[in-house]
Amino acid sequence: MDNHLIKNLKIPASDCDHTSRLSAPDTFALFQDVATDHALDLHIGVPDLAPRHLFWLTVKTKVRFLRRPGMNESVQLETWPEPADRIRCNRDYRLTHDGETLALGKTEWAIVDTTTGQLHKASEVFPEELTFRTDVVWREPFARLRDDFADEPVFARYTVRSVDIDLGGHMNNVAYVRALAGAFSVAEWDAMDVKEMEVHFKATCYEGDTLELQRRNRDGATEVRMSVDGRTVILARIG
């Protein structure tokens, strides 16, 4: 059983931003898509887990941008899972061009029992015959993002639309990243010169919900809280 998936592709025009390079949200989308493909190969995808009333949840995800590839550039995308602990597991991603690393990513996943709403042991989901790789894209833990935005004003709002909803019936993970990126102007985005984005998923939201966004600058990065009716949905760091 292959513990490592590699895909060759070209960056489509529809995934590029105003710089004619792969956008930050579409980098998250590529990583989500390749994770989905590999989960199917490992027989732990949505069709495999649904009969067991289990569903994957993204807990945290982080992407580092070294050089965003341009439109129609040929790239290699690879992913592999790390060994699972009792409840959660990580998956690593690497995007390259001719041996040059363009972006790296890591996602922390959990598995929920859809009948009880309780977390299921991630270590029991992976096939016994799977041999895990020992290498990882980085070893440092995810950031500790503080949920203390009470004094920060709302700088943007976003109403969840039908196109944001995934098969789970709630807002898709990448849709949050698109809404987050879209809250900043082109000039603001260029000025930030983003090298890293980290997103922590705290709660779900649904079609018709209105997300309120607050931001602050801390330690040279922009931190953002997305909430619905005072309930934190997303905490993010853009640096």
Instruction: Quick: pLDDT tens for 65-94.
Output: 999 999 999 999 999 999 998 899 999 999
| φ/ψ of residue 72, rounded to 5 | 70, 10
Task: Give a yes or no: residue 133 inside a domain.
Answer: no
In terms of residue numbers, what domain contains 172? 154-238
Task: Give a yes or no: residue 137 inside a domain.
Answer: no
Task: Give a yes or no: residue 145 inside a domain.
Answer: no
Task: Give a yes or no: residue 129 inside a domain.
Answer: no
Decide which of 124, 141, 169 is a domain's last residue.
124
pLDDT, residue 102, reads 98
Task: Give a yes or no: residue 115 inside a domain.
Answer: yes
Task: Give a yes or no: residue 10 inside a domain.
Answer: yes
Pick from 32, 59, 55, 34: nearest CA to 44: 55
Task: Give a yes or no: residue 48 inside a domain.
Answer: yes
pLDDT, residue 10, reads 98
pLDDT, residue 85, reads 87
Gap between the Cα atoms of 112 and 119, Å rounded: 4
> 174 and 72 in one domain?
no
Q: Which residues of the chain have pLDDT under 70?
A: none
Residue 28, SS3 per DSSP: helix
pLDDT, residue 184, reads 98
pTM for this structure?
A: 0.95
pLDDT, residue 86, reads 84
pLDDT, residue 28, reads 98
> 16 and 81 in one domain?
yes
How many domains would you assign to the chain? 2
> 186 and 104 in one domain?
no
CB neighbour list of residue 190: distance below 8 Å, 6 or more residues apart: none
Gap between the Cα atoms of 148 and 143, Å rounded: 15
> 172 and 99 in one domain?
no
